[in-house]
Structure 1
Amino acid sequence: MKKLDPKELAEFGLSEHESRIYSALVEHGPCTMAELAQRALVPRTKVYPNVKKLVSKGFVECLPDKPMRCRAVSPEKVLRPILKEKQNQVEEMNKLLDALNQLFSEKAAENMERKEFWVFSDKSSALNSLKKNLLDAREEIFVVLNKWGTKTLVELKEALRKCVDKKVKLQLIAPYTLEDLEKIQDFRDLASIRLVPQELSDFVMIIDSSTLFLLSSTRVTQGYGGFSSLLVNDSRLSETVRTLLNATLWEQGSPIESVKSLLGGSESALRAVKAANPSVYADAVISAFGQWILDTYGEKNGERIIRNIALNALKTIEEEEGLKLSASSIEDALKAITELTTFNEKVEVDFDSEDPMNYLNYVVYNATSASYKKSQASKSNILMTAWGILTEAIFELYGYETVTMQTVYDRQKQQWMAWKKVLKKGAKLKSLDEALEEIQKLTKMLENQKQSGG
């Protein structure tokens, strides 16, 4: 059996201490904090903070034992999705490479000016080539950072400064999930910076809409080493990518100055960028309106009113926008709305069972209203998001109702998630909270009977 090397887990985004702790739990099974310090070779004071990080990342679960023990989540469950994402990134690069090869062949066949592209597997060579291209920049440099792009940007800072000194315009897009936001702010004197909620998998730089540089963050790959990048000298391709990124990211982004002012004394860059995004105010209005209905008319009548409003919204969307969301069957209707909401990751429906309507569970995500509440204990069974309410309307339209089985606040994503059970109207199904309440009452009654008998 191969001996585990904790350093290899760094490829999956774990620190050295996190890697050692997870490896030890995989190898030895559930451990106490003291046992982990010994088996993972991690200082005892560092064990608990790193276990908490692993729990938040989904790698470790804590057991209700005394003293507290924790265990590793199955590597297949936590590592396979990461590996799949990395493989998908490589597949996308391969598709891009195929498209570029085809374009190159077509232009050669037409006896036109030759376009050039290079694939680098060595970072030093890639950056040297990029710096040479930066020397020729005349008008604009357009940069999109990924999660790991800050280090590359810092390495190019002097070359970029020389470009700015020549009056070259520098535009920079960064994801708000960027951990080292302070380093990005250091570029405010050089670039116009906008922050966006989306995050690309690759670092992108476009010079004068004629040179495209793509640096892959993929390290767990098929057929590549630890580094992959692509540099293309093709004005048509570069201009196309530049136009798409401008429309989908730059125009939708929030200027860093706005986010900086919204931050104030807060440490939450994530919340500041959300506040700079106009869509959150629409979400807040939807949430407040829905909550007022529930508070005014009670939960049962309130949810019925909300569903009727949603049915009218569904009708408006279909008549005025031409989007057919209600199909010939509830399964088709739900699949249609699920496909639409995939872009926002707000609704998930499990269609794996043979009879979906007997076993169907679905989850409503991204109840942004939770961001506006002082207490995370506040929650609504219906979770007022536009997609969530429209999904409820689909169920109402076909004679189904939903029961909230459990509501959970995801601290990492700062949003509520509601697990719901779907059943025909009139069927009886108790929620998890109701079931737990009955168990507690029964337990208390038995304890009282036992005391009376004694």
Structure 2
Amino acid sequence: MAGAGVLDRLKELGLSEYESRIYAALLRGGPAKVADLAVKAGVPRTKAYDAVKSLGRKGLVEVRGRPLMCMAVDPEEALGEMVEDEERRARRLRRILEELRRLGRGTGSLEGQEGRYSLVAGTAIVDRLRELISGAAREVHGMLDHWGVELALESKREIRAAALGDVEVRLVLDGYDEESARNAELVEFARVTSRGGGWSAFTFDGRMALLLDSGAGVGMLVESPLIVEALDSLFEEMWRSGMPLERFLELLRAGVTSAAGLVGGEVEIYAGAIEAMLSNFSIEDLAPVADAAYSRFVRLLPEMEAEPVEAAVVVWGALLGGGLSHSSVRYDQLTKIMTIEYGSQARMPPTPWFLAFLGYLRSRGIEPSVVHSSTEQGMSVLQLKLPIKTQLI
């Protein structure tokens, strides 16, 4: 296997441990099949296949012929492109910094603010993050997309140790990335909001920030009080509008298929929805929650206000069906009964559209009643009687 010095240099370029070993083995030993390469590089065979694919995407390895042979791309050519990539990433991070400067609310102009900036890449990112968390004396804040969550999980030991040492640890996760937001290991520290992905930022004691560009896979350490202040100001806004991660996870467990769609909105909608989903409820109990949900819906689709009720009910049926898994929604104009079938054991259709639909009916003076409700083998059926007056033409 290659020496530690060579592997360290490759890691500095952003390669993982296994990628570094595979690339170094190809440079040293020439073309090889993946199975043989795994042995030469000391990499588990299943991981070797993943590493070769990743190196191929990075332009460092080519796979040709029959049987398939892996070949290292000439270092000068391949690494020259990587250097250009690093320069592009640095420019991209600086553009992010410029955007962050414009986010400074009430902090005055950030132009000309002195500060120190340094790029961090590869495994050095998580190492540096752990150091910064361990060195924090008062607070650690994070605004995290998928990659930011991964780094937080890799640093969870340091996060817990900091919290036990009376350091305030608070994290905001991106609600539109439900896979990341499902991480219950961060539940005691995190809230969820619709912040949008592509970047993450950690701040430490109001004096230092670690900016992470997920697309580029690099980080930038920033020591600039005003930039950190701007980031913390943005963080506080997200934190105030966010939902506790524990509550978000309850929604997902209850079967809500579009939980992120309401994140960052009226928190009372969530509180009422969870209470209704996880306990015995009646249509009447949902009135205040339904009104709030419909109020928000009207702001999104104001044209629905002008639709005749029976025409609008058909549209609502389509919205309900689109927000539910394994669903079927039918409305019988003769009996005035809407039948909703859905793949969940929740006592009501677990979608915000249902709450908004109830609010719509209330706004039209229509009080629906439940004529049938049942659950069997993971499928539920709810039938509502809608006393809609047919409009004569």
TM superposition score normalised by structure 1: 0.39
Where relative contact order (Cα < 8 A, 6+ residues apart) is larger, the structure is 2
TM superposition score normalised by structure 2: 0.44
